């Protein structure tokens, strides 16, 4: 079945065709260098790492980790690397990654100068009215409410970096409270199978370096 395409009038061809051309060049070079790997990957994946990161374009996980081969990293990204108990999207990624792909390392990765955290840091405290009702005009404001609440739970002299680290820690804590992680830890108590480890990292935009924040949790 042919792949449907959008009418040419809807696409800024002069803006996008360079990306298609770059992809074609990459695919040709990759197949020449890693002959047969793409065909193998088409049959399944075995990633070793589950990355919960920020949507920020400056933190591309494959480049940051110098991963030159597809299939190594299972990824979920959103504003401010937020893991929420109410978000089916991030929970489904965790469930599939741990429960079906058997990934043993989950990382929550924050980064310096995070725009989502910066917006929350400058926001007024959430009111009961905002907490009890959604804002249909701004999904972003709704999404940031837990982060705004976290910001105002920190000590008065806290910095933006303090909020970024606290947000990573909250993500680690939230993941550790999920049924999929608790089930994994319970199942590995009396077996030789290694339990899932949940880590918190920080990426520094200015240096390109990742830092382990020392908040790894496991069974």
**Conformational region of residue 71, where left means phi above 0, alpha means psi within -120 to 50, and beta covers everything else:** left
Catalytic residue, candidates 76, 90, 91, 114: 114
Which helix (H) or strand (E) segment is 43 a member of?
none
66 in catalytic set: no
Cβ contacts of residue 145 below 8 Å, gap of 6+?
Answer: 126, 130, 131
90 is catalytic: no
Give catalytic status of residue 111 as yes or no: yes
- Determine which one of 76, 111, 170, 199 is catalytic: 111
| Residue with the two structure tokens 């608790």 | 182
Residue numbers belonging to the annotated binding site? 54, 56, 111, 114
What is the distance of C-alpha 92 from the center of its chain?
A: 13
> What are the binding residues for Zn(2+)?
54, 56, 111, 114
Q: DSSP letter at 110?
A: E
- Tell me how crowded residue 17 is: count the other CB atoms within 10 A of its CB: 11
- Nearest to 172, CA basis, from 108, 122, 218, 129: 108
DSSP state of 153: T
Burial of 114 (0-12, 13-18, 19+ CB in 10 A): buried
Write out the catalytic residue numbers.
54, 56, 58, 111, 114
């Amino acid at each position: 079945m042919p792949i449907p395409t959008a009418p040419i009038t809807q696409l800024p061809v002069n803006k996008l065709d360079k990306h298609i051309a770059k992809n074609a060049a990459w695919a040709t070079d990759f197949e020449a260098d890693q002959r047969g790997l793409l065909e193998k990957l088409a049959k399944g994946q075995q990633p070793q790492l589950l990355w919960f990161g920020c949507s920020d374009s400056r933190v591309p996980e494959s480049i940051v980790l110098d991963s030159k081969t597809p299939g190594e990293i299972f990824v979920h990204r959103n504003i401010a690397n937020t893991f929420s108990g109410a978000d089916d999207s991030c929970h489904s990624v965790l469930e599939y990654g741990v429960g079906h792909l058997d990934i043993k390392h989950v990382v929550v990765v924050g980064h310096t100068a995070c725009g989502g955290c910066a917006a929350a840091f400058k926001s007024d405290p959430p009111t009961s009215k905002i907490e009890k009702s959604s804002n249909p005009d701004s999904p972003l404001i709704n999404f940031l409410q837990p982060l705004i609440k976290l910001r105002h739970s920190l000590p008065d002299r806290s910095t933006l970096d303090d909020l970024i680290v606290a947000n990573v820690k909250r993500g680690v804590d939230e993941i550790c409270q999920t049924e999929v992680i608790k089930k994994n830890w319970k199942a590995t108590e009396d077996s030789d199978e290694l339990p899932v480890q949940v880590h918190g990292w920080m990426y520094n935009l200015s240096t390109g370096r990742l830092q382990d924040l020392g908040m790894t949790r496991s069974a």
